[in-house]
Chains A and B, each alone.
Chain A
Amino acid sequence: MSLHTLTVAELAAGLRARRFSSLDLTLHFLGRIERLAPQLNAFVTVTADRALADARAADEQLARGEGGPLTGVPIAHKDIFCTDGILTTCASKMLSNFVAPYDATVVERWRAAGTVLLGKTNMDEFAMGSSNETSFYGPVRNPWDPLRVPGGSSGGSAAAVSACLAPAASGTDTGGSIRQPAALTSLTGLKPTYGRVSRYGMIAFASSLDQGGVLTRSAEDAALLLKLMAGFDRRDSTSVDVPVPDYVAELVRPLAGLRVGVIREFFDKGLEPGVGTLVQDAIEALRLQGATVREVSLPALPLSVPTYYVVAPAECSSNLSRFDGVRFGHRCESPRDLLDLYKRSRGEGFGDEVKRRIMTGTYVLSAGYYDAYYLKAQKVRQLIAADFERAFRDVDVVIGPTAPTPAFELGAKTSDPITMYLNDIYTIGANLAGLPAISIPCGFVNEGGRDLPVGMQLVGPHFSESRLLSVSHQYQRITEWHRRVPPGYA
């Protein structure tokens, strides 16, 4: 039995039954990280000492018959989550020296459940990117093909879990940053409802869109981990005070009676045919298990990318104004005056894509342009949300591909920002409407002699995570796609 291919649920059961210790498990994963993480560039920081201390404490608790649901299970956090006393960089030069002075709520809650922190994963700088190529620490490679990207912005988390360097990892999703990398690396990736998971200590990109979530090997693991990270937090002013259901207990709900809507606009000319076929096959599998399938139309959805590229940069330009070279983060050498300090610290500390988005946001919010761009985008956003709402009168979930293509090659889309932005064409709508969405593996296409993963996306009404997870779990009971491990990482 190889420990690293087991799910979180299996590892937790094995630890409770004392089949292996947390220390053995943690050493096993740290060994794999040491051997395999550098070729993928999946981690910014490996917290080996902390992990070993966490594991020893977990073993003592388990020996006494104590501990939480995940006591002794190793995990990794995206380097956007603040971790007390540990470097938290957001993959930016700006924060390359930033030691967080407190834990994010997500970090605190997973820690309280007994998890062991293996390290902080690489990502696109400030979560701005769809390929993990904007990181100050260099691009992450896809374990399924090292010449291809793992997706982004949670690319390090995706690569780490996919390559079995960690059983699960946190991610954040502002426009697809959990779901698209999950699809490109054959993982389950869940973005919860806006406000479901606290944003406290999660470094802000676009506050009305950002949502924390998980990348896992199975829907069951996503249910386990979401249950532990979700819930009201007074320290996040947009955290929603709605009870957290028992996502794990609800996984058993059968597919019979499920009403599925297939999103017409997602099977458009931009979709690679091989990807579309696999998603259609998966929908047919749901139908054979008793789901009813119909087509739904979301006519405003094609406007989601331009809407996003007004709203997200606007919010980012405001959020990132806190990086001023005064209180934390990078400061330039010998500033002439305060203006020079601001401009050079920010000019040097931020990478190209981050600067591009700050400037886009500054422009669309500036006097004379606010109504034409920002207000207009917030109105179109309302149309997109209304489209979903209308669809959910007739169906329980809507389904389509997660990404238009499988993983693309490094450098293939870096020259034109618009080409890169269009990767998120199927994922952005859920963020704009604040809806929960999940990507699950539904097959592979062969390109250049390599099998590349394809993901299917399910979107549901607000707070329908239980349903998304149970549908995904039932699909994973009849398929094996999510059990496949990239060649060389088994």
Chain B
Amino acid sequence: MSLTRAQVEAIAHLARLEITEAQMPVYVDSLSRIIDFVEHLSAADTSGVEPMAHPLSDQVQRLRVDEVTEADQHEKYQQNAPAVAAGLYLVPKVIE
């Protein structure tokens, strides 16, 4: 196993994913296999190679004038929200 249970628990926490007790060994196993598999890359000679930043080498990020282009549609968008009041998204109390 290239990953320990503690490592997988830490990853799950960073990723904000609850993993059930029953599923944890399955993830330790499969994630270890994936990490072992991608280890193959370490054998490739990449000295002097620049990491790819964009699949089309001549592309640059476009800029635009900083002006409002979107209409306010928050009521429509918030129809998909689990809990809303007065145009605000509701979450459990964050500060006691």
Contact = CB atoms under 8 A, between A and B. Distances in A.
B68 interface: no
A478 interface: no
Output the residue of B42, B56, B83 with the most chain A CB within 10 A: B56
A71 to B, nearest CB: 29
Contacts of A98: 80
Interface in A180-222: 193-195, 208-209
Interface in A359-373: 359-360, 362-364, 366, 372-373
Contact of B44 (A209, A300, A462): A300
Nearest to B82: A331
A181 B48 CA distance: 38
A13 B94 CA distance: 61
Given A359-B27, A416-B33, A346 B16 contact: yes
A394 B16 CA distance: 49
A358 B15 contact: yes
A240 B29 CA distance: 41
Interface residues of A, number: 73
A352 B64 CA distance: 40
Nearest to A362: B15
Interface string A335-349: 111111111101110
Contacts, number: 171
Contact of A383 (B19, B46, B62): B46
A346 B15 CA distance: 9
Contact of A347 (B17, B56, B80, B94): B17
Interface string B70-84: 000100110111110
Contacts of B18: 343-344, 346-348
Interface residues on B, range: 35 or more
A240 B56 contact: yes
A209 B55 CA distance: 8
A328 B81 contact: yes
A326 B52 contact: no
Given A326-B81, A327-B81, A363 B37 contact: no
A433 to B, nearest CB: 6
Given A338-B91, A381-B52, A355 B19 contact: yes
Interface in A228-253: 234, 237-238, 240
B15 A359 contact: yes
A338 B46 contact: no
Contacts of B82: 325-326, 329, 331
A335 B7 CA distance: 25
Contacts of A372: 42
A382 B51 CA distance: 6
Nearest to A309: B38
A335 B83 CA distance: 12
B56 A434 contact: yes
Contacts of B61: 237
Given A195-B56, A356-B27, A418 B33 contact: yes
Interface of A: 97-99, 101, 193-195, 208-209, 234, 237-238, 240, 300, 303, 305-307, 309-310, 317, 321, 324-329, 331, 335-344, 346-348, 350, 352, 355-356, 358-360, 362-364, 366, 372-373, 375-383, 385, 416-418, 421, 432-434, 462
14 contacts: A194-B55, A305-B37, A307-B41, A310-B38, A321-B16, A325-B82, A326-B91, A355-B27, A359-B27, A364-B38, A375-B51, A378-B53, A379-B44, A383-B46
Given A193-B56, A237-B62, 10 more contacts: A97-B80, A305-B37, A327-B81, A337-B92, A337-B94, A341-B92, A343-B13, A358-B17, A417-B33, A432-B55
